[in-house]
Structure formats: structure tokens, C-alpha cells
Structure 1
């Protein structure tokens, strides 16, 4: 990561963590943010901008009739997301505010994250970083490097169901949501062939490929 930062200085570097739902993106980001504290050159100089913060609000989804597909590509403000990523790359640097997502409330939180001037690396993660179509086409050029998370389908689905149960859904409801909604989103991500365009591929937290295929 230090080499990535040095390669694009004096602007900030942007590292994307992408992959289908339930493949381990959030876990990898958590591990990464903990690990960088051990590196003198990066400790305290890494910011986190999650894609989930750019969910449309429930009121907006209700107005669009898309509440039942929350999490699909068109239920995010991809234009605003790309705009924030572009702002983090700008020189001279400025403080950049970004929304986060409250999973308990199921709503975005305005300015929940702040990228300070002295942050050299911005880590961002989400399903659609390499989708490359519609409004999402603006995102890949803003990523200096992309790490892809992959996972066996059955394991991924079981983890997604467990995640939804933890946030309050009943088991039957959680399973129906995952098989109908999350898996449709996963298929869109797989169809976009993002894994082939990633710089590093992880399976269940372990590196299985470095360099683009």
C-alpha cells in the first residue's frame, strides 16, 4: 500500500475493495484498517469511504417503487459516489465529507465519514465498484487499485442469511430476501467480470491471484 501511495503522490490514492454480496469485503477492510496502524508511513493517514453510504433513502426508494430491491445497482446514488471519490483525488487536497450507512436504521447518514487533508490513502468498498455500466461507469477510472473478494456461492449465501437474521429478519424472510434480491445483485456483479479486472483476488481472506488476468 505504501508503494501505491508513493506512485500517485502528491494526491491521495484510492483503493477499491469489490466483489459480490457476502464475499468478505467488510471483513477485509476491517483487517486492512487495523493492519495499517503498524506501518509508520500510513498509520493515521488512511480514510474509509464505504459505498453503502450512497444508498438512496427509504423515502426515495418508496417513491421510486424500488424498496423491495434495496441494494440493487439503481438504488444507490452512483453519481454522488463518483463525485466524492473524485474529490478525494483532487489536488490541492481538501477535507472531504462522505455519507455512511446505519445498518440498524437501514438509512444513510450524511457526512458520517470525513477524509482529512493528511489522509494519503482512501479505502472504499462495495459490490459495484467495477460494474462499469450506467452511472457506475464513472467509478472504475477513479480507483488506483482494486482488490476483489470471491467466495464459494453456498458459503456466501449462508453468511448473507445469517447477517440479515442478525439485523432482525426472521430466518424465512432473510432466506427469501437473499435468494431473490442479494443473489440477483451478485449475478450482476459476476456478469460484469470485475474479478478479471481486479489487481488482487482474495478468497475467504487469502490472496489467490496478484496481477490482472
Structure 2
């Protein structure tokens, strides 16, 4: 059976059957379309909640990128030239957020965002109200079998893997780097160097996903917004 975007919407909605709270993860390498897919899912789901839930407020989008370590800390650690690698994120902080979301005890939970223009995390940027039953969270390393990242997978109801074809993914990635300040040469070097090493690591986690979202569906949801993953 050919997987469709509508089928993904239905599957995501079913994660909160009975009113329980669930976090859906979307993993994949840089520029695979994770953010675009997450945003399109939320847009499609928001006006059509399951019975008993409130339209709009029942679904939320919380990217993992807010857990990037700040540049000043990356400089201190000597990791600034590897920004985007697994150890340049606060993985345990992200897991702590997911744990709070699953515990479902707070009226509002604030998550950090990430501002592409300045390439820095922004604390307290994303409010998640108690009414939110489904939270969609995308990031590179949701399936990584590493001591720092392993707790993340256990806190996600499902993880889908965005499987965009390599030439298109690389084109989007280089374009994104150029839009946010790198010249074309530097953009290509970063995309085929640091980013590609991370992409190979992420691709090795594909088989751990509950569902692989094929390139055809990712193309269907459109071009990513500026800064989209």
C-alpha cells in the first residue's frame, strides 16, 4: 500500500485515542524535511481533533533544535566547529522535557526554541498548554543508540524517519546555509563535511523507526520554510 499524507494524519491522531497525551517524533538527517512535515501535520490535525478535545489547542509542535548548546558553551568545550553533532546538544535536557510532557502534570510547560537568524537557542519560547494531547517533535538524533540520547526514544510514542532522496536533501541543505549567511563555498563545505558526517550517523538509525516516510510524501508536503529541517 502506498503511504499518503492523509494516512500519516490519521495515524498521528490515533496516538491520542482516549485522550492520553503522546509525543510523536520525526527523525532524519539535516534538511530531510522534518520541520516541514511536522508543521504540515500540525496544520492538518489542529482543526480536526478527536472527540472530546479542543480544536487547535490539542496539538503542538516542539522542535528538538531548542536544545542546541549556545555558541559560547560550544567554544568552551571546543566543539564549535562541529555544531550539529550529537554532543553539541543538551540531550538529557531534551529528555527531561519529554518526561514532563508525558507526566502531564503541569498547566503549561515552556520549551526552548531555536532562531536560525542568530543560530542560537531561545529559552522559554514555546508554551505547551495542558490541553495539548499530541506533541510533534522533530530532530536529528531521536533514534540514536547512545547513552546521552537513549532515554529520548523511550519517551516517544512513535518515531517516524523522513527519508528524502540525497541529491534533493543536499540541495536544500546548501540553500539553507546560504540563506543564513554562508557564502556558497562555505555552505558546500559545511554541508558535505560536518553535516554529512552527522547525516551518515543518523541514516544508521533508520531501521529503528516505527515508520519510514518516503521521499514522495515529503515532496508532497512542499518546500521547507527558511530554516526548516
What is the TM-score normalised by the length of structure 1?
Answer: 0.90
Following the alignment from structure 1 to structure 2, what is the Cα–Cα distance between the partners of residues 98 and 109? Answer: 9
2:31 maps to what in 1? 22
| 1:197 equivalent in alignment to 2:208 | yes
Following the alignment from structure 2 to structure 1, what is the Cα–Cα distance between the partners of residues 162 and 17? Answer: 25
- How far is 1:2 from its partner? 2.5
1:119 maps to what in 2? 132
Following the alignment from structure 1 to structure 2, what is the Cα–Cα distance between the partners of residues 155 and 99? Answer: 29
Following the alignment from structure 1 to structure 2, what is the Cα–Cα distance between the partners of residues 187 and 40? Answer: 37
Following the alignment from structure 1 to structure 2, what is the Cα–Cα distance between the partners of residues 88 and 205? Answer: 32
Q: How many pairs were matched up?
A: 203
Name the SS of the counterpart of 2:24 in structure 1. strand
* 8 Å Cα contact 2:46/2:59 also seen in 1: no
1:133 maps to what in 2? 146
Deviates more, 1:55-64 or 1:22-31: 22-31
Following the alignment from structure 1 to structure 2, what is the Cα–Cα distance between the partners of residues 159 and 48? Answer: 22
- How far is 1:93 from its partner? 4.4
Following the alignment from structure 2 to structure 1, what is the Cα–Cα distance between the partners of residues 211 and 141? Answer: 16
Following the alignment from structure 1 to structure 2, what is the Cα–Cα distance between the partners of residues 159 and 126? Answer: 16
2:41 to 32, 38, 43: 32
| Unaligned runs of at least 5 residues, structure 2 | 1-11, 219-229
1:6 maps to what in 2? 17
Name the SS of the counterpart of 2:16 in structure 1. helix
Q: Where do residues 164-183 of structure 1 align in structure 2 (5 Å cutoff)?
A: 164-183=177-196
- How far is 1:92 from its partner? 3.2
* 8 Å Cα contact 1:132/1:138 also seen in 2: no
* 8 Å Cα contact 1:128/1:136 also seen in 2: yes
| Unaligned runs of at least 5 residues, structure 1 | 208-213
Name the SS of the counterpart of 1:34 in structure 2. helix
Where in structure 1 do 4 or more consecutive aligned residues deviate above 3 Å? 91-94
